[in-house]
Structures are given as C-alpha cells and as structure tokens.
Structure 1
Amino acid sequence: MADPAKAERQRLDKWLWFARFAKTRSLAARLVAEGHVRVNGKRAEAPAKGILVGDVVTVAAAHVTALVRVAGLGERRGPAPEARLLYVDLTKAEPGPDQP
C-alpha cells in the first residue's frame, strides 16, 4: 500500500515536464541542476526534490520566466490546456507600482 505522505508529493523535474515548462524530462532536470528553478524562494538543488500543492515555483529559462503556484500534481504529460490546470500564474496576478 502506498504511503499517503508520498502520494502528496511529486518530483520537481516530473512536474515541470507535466506542466510543459520543459519539452523533455531530462531538460527539466537540467533546468533544476543549472539553477534556473526556485521552490518557495530557495534554489532547488536536485531534480528529485518533492513539491507539494501550494508551493511557489519560479522558472527562469531562455523561453520563459514564470512565477507559479502549484495547483495540482499531474499524472501524465497531457495537452497544453490540461497542463495549465497544474498551476496558477502569479506573474500576472502581481499588481504593478501604479496599481493598489
């Protein structure tokens, strides 16, 4: 029987791949290894780092810089509309200096 605590976590590289921040899982692992990913403001040291729903992930890659909150843990790499359900984009939600 699976441990419930482990069921609530997912490997960071796997989640990045499922959420379509990387084309392959190995590229997702490389993003983490090269220091382009932060989880809750701290640099992720290993692709195997477990993430939880509610964690804030920052991805700074050549093709995208995104600040997102994990909204779900994927079960597969699906189409883009399905991948967008795995996170909430916080980049758009932040008010600018002229906004309250």
Structure 2
Amino acid sequence: MPESRQRLDKWLFFSRAVKSRTLAQKLIESGAVRVNSERTLASDHRVGAGDVLTMTVHTRLLVWKILDAGERRGPATEAALLYEDLSPPPLPRADRVAPVAERDAGAGRPTKKERRETDRLKGE
C-alpha cells in the first residue's frame, strides 16, 4: 500500500509527466511546478490525494489533481489513474505558429537565377 503523501519528484516520475526523477527535480527547481497555486522549488515537497499541480512541460500548461500516490512507474494506463487532468485545451495550431511567406503551389525552391535576382533587389 503506498504512503498517503509522497515526494513531488517521485510522484511526477510515477505519473509519467517526466522521463526520469532527475528531470523531475530539474523541472521543480526551475520553478515550473506549483502545488495548490504555490510555487515550490523543493523536489522533496510532499504531495498527496487532493493536491492540485500546475506545471509547464514542453510549452504545455498542465493542471492535474492528484488522486493517489503511486507505488511504481507502471504502464501509462496505470499512471493515468494517479491524476485527473484539469488542463485547459491547447491553443489551435494556427494561433501558435508565426505566419510563413506563401509561394505558388508547385513553385518549389527558388532557382539559382531567381536567388540572384532576389539578392540584387536586396542590394547584396
């Protein structure tokens, strides 16, 4: 039977939020994790059922409510039982990516001649 409270870095590892405990410690120490809306920099901070974690992992905002402390790092299906995902939906891709200059369909890359003409226009 798992303890009622567990180290934060260990819980992040068991829940598969990160790939290793070392990465969990780095994430916590960088200030990217909040427990119950309070920033924590200690990887040994104790968390348990009912706590809400807010963290930024790979530019995604994750809000997880802890349901249980884990016994081990098991399969993803087992890890998903440790938390309830309260995260807001990610932004649509069009809002996240900067606009790109458009070219005619099938135009492909510019030829050497077109590139020289472009360089002349730029004054290079």
Structure 2-normalised TM-score? 0.66
Aligned pairs, how many? 87
Q: In percent, how many aligned pairs have the same letter?
A: 46
How far apart are residue 28 of structure 1 and its match?
A: 0.4
Which structure would you say has the larger RCO, counting Cα contacts within 8 Å and 6 or more residues apart? 1
Question: Which residue in 2 is equivalent to 1:74?
Answer: 70
What SS does the corresponding residue of 2:43 show, helix, strand or coil?
A: coil
- Taking the aligned partners of 1:59 and 1:20, their CA distance within structure 2 comes to 13
Cα deviations by residue, 1:60-95 (Å, 9 ceiling, x for unpaired): 0216421010001000000111000000011259xx
Q: Residue 37 of structure 1 is aligned with which of 33, 36, 55? A: 33
Q: CA RMSD in A?
A: 1.5
What SS does the corresponding residue of 1:73 show, helix, strand or coil?
A: coil
Q: Does structure 1 residue 57 correspond to structure 2 residue 53? A: yes
Runs of 5+ unmatched residues, structure 1:
1-6, 94-100
- Divergent runs of 4+, >2 A: none
Runs of 5+ unmatched residues, structure 2:
90-124
Structure 1-normalised TM-score? 0.82
